[in-house]
Structure 1
């Protein structure tokens, strides 16, 4: 813990306060606070300086300190009017998200208030490090809803925004800084999963441990809440008391009892059962990570967590199948696959008869439904459906010629089980499919996979633990790998069909853009 809070340097010019934020530069013997620009907000300031007459006048009032203070006050009011009231009326050159940017300018302007408030509280009570006080202040201004309520009560005639926000933040973090609230068990219980995950990453903990720590923390919180927080036997002022071994044992039982349920992350299900002592060690690591987490007040990660609270991890959707498939042949890398895909599909379209070409043009290009096409061709709707299926199947089979899945899926699944079973990549659709398939397996089979691919135990030990023979272990592993291969091939079929559907619509609609040219669809495509 530092004995002295670093000095906050003054920006060179007042307008910089609207696009600079604080970072800590750890020197050899001491920490130094510096300003760093948020580039998109810096560009926004320049835009208004060039395009907005009133804004430009504020920045050209000279270097007199008194004038600068007045201009700064008026610029604060300018962004407040825009943020709270969307005033003045939007001009054509202004960004569509100008209100959001106005809030961001005001938020960064209050960075200095965070520092001032934290300094005042820290000088009065050095129970906790000054970085934690700054972190608590930032939690308030980077919460848009709370920040809006605070600014709505601000009277520009009564004081400067700096004075007003410093006092609001001082009171807030002073209340948050009550000694009891800095209990490490409160810290562990109150921090969000997103913050804990970020803290663990900074602390050097990665998957699969992160998922297991988060899952364990969930059950520890439940047990701790019932046994300690809500326990009437605890005296007032001792709310965040030290948990005992029974609490950790109970939390471990909950963890082990639900690790194989569908709600459990794959990394948890893939791991072994834990003891109370192991779970306690995990919680201590989480606490250490959280205690270190606010020490870097650089918002590149921690403030993203604050501003994006509640947002879950986004999974990558289905796009070009070659982006999600791994190929052993260097000639079939994603870039080459894209070119080859285009070539083989167009070649296959050239081989279609005129009726089939017209059917594709009407269905994918003009958007006719099957009933309308059936009336034109004087056949039944089911006949049109069969013709479309025949063409689509033919084109899908053509895509398979690039790299037939059955030839590489077996090798892929085997490699994945051996290297990535515990830490799948959720941005990879193939991994997602394999994890989803594993979740549907019988509990006994999942236990077998955990021990064989997760813990990498000797087969004889696995036989003893599960009470099965060596032949049964081999049979279960072979059957499971076959299930994964089947699920993967089915998903590849879906991916290819979705890609083909998008490709056909794009190519056929390209024909519509040239309606006066009497040429068939393939001439247009080529």
Structure 2
């Protein structure tokens, strides 16, 4: 699909689905105005999308307003789409691409909470994996729900999730209290005899009568004297409702992803497009795009370090060649250069620190990574590996040639 190009579109537009296909981009007018105001105040040259993603994520962590969340939700639309698309193509579940997209984007808050800029390549890369895992987790849960009967679900639910399912179902506090008491009696008295909980069948009349008896015995202390006494028929009705609520909670019906939210401002289509890619090669395309991004970053890092090395004097380059290229110890280098070992040590430390400072400047400017101890340690390790590879290259001059 044709991706969004401008920063304004990236942080203020949303995919519009129609018949399980993404048909275009829908503008959120409020987010667009808000993003435009920030772009107008931004310094020149214009910061990158990575900068704005990190900026809005930082705002999301500190503010109570929903605008930062809205900008991040808009930014991750394509990432969420491709994660959903990949699974929709490879899995046969009876659910659509739009279903998968909605399952994933509904858990945006979980994705944002899990993202740590210091330990991740970027929000896009992290969200791609996170959205995929969210969809897979949902499918595993739904498979469990499909296998279990309603009566088995009532046995498997924790107290917290049972009460939450009743609240989600729209029941009031008094009804929830009564249903919880009847559910606890059900779990106490009715269990599978063969140990196969998933296929637990409906209780018979005698079981419903026993459950009602226990409920009525304890209802004054657990629910209140004014609570309705249970009969076997009423017990069956209540527990049936509880089973429906549990299944609805664990396996909710999905609403169209492009349904208008209440109070949302009207939007406009930025772009209409058709999907013409070969679906069988989607995974290859995604992998190629990720590899291309990594290659670009490696090329940039290589260029930064090479520019730093060019600025060094001949003696400094010779010292690095002896240490990293020939693998000599500091003592051996000191003998060869007719100097003290501590002089070699101090000089190597100074050279490494200078290269590391240049690498840090590049990271802050290009990747917008804040420099803390963890990031610096990681960069230091990268620098050491790079120097070993660079100076062990056969095309580089030897120490004797470098001294000419």
Higher normalized contact order (CA 8 Å, seq sep 6+, divided by chain length): 2
> Normalised by the size of structure 1, how large is the TM-score?
0.36
> Normalised by the size of structure 2, how large is the TM-score?
0.45
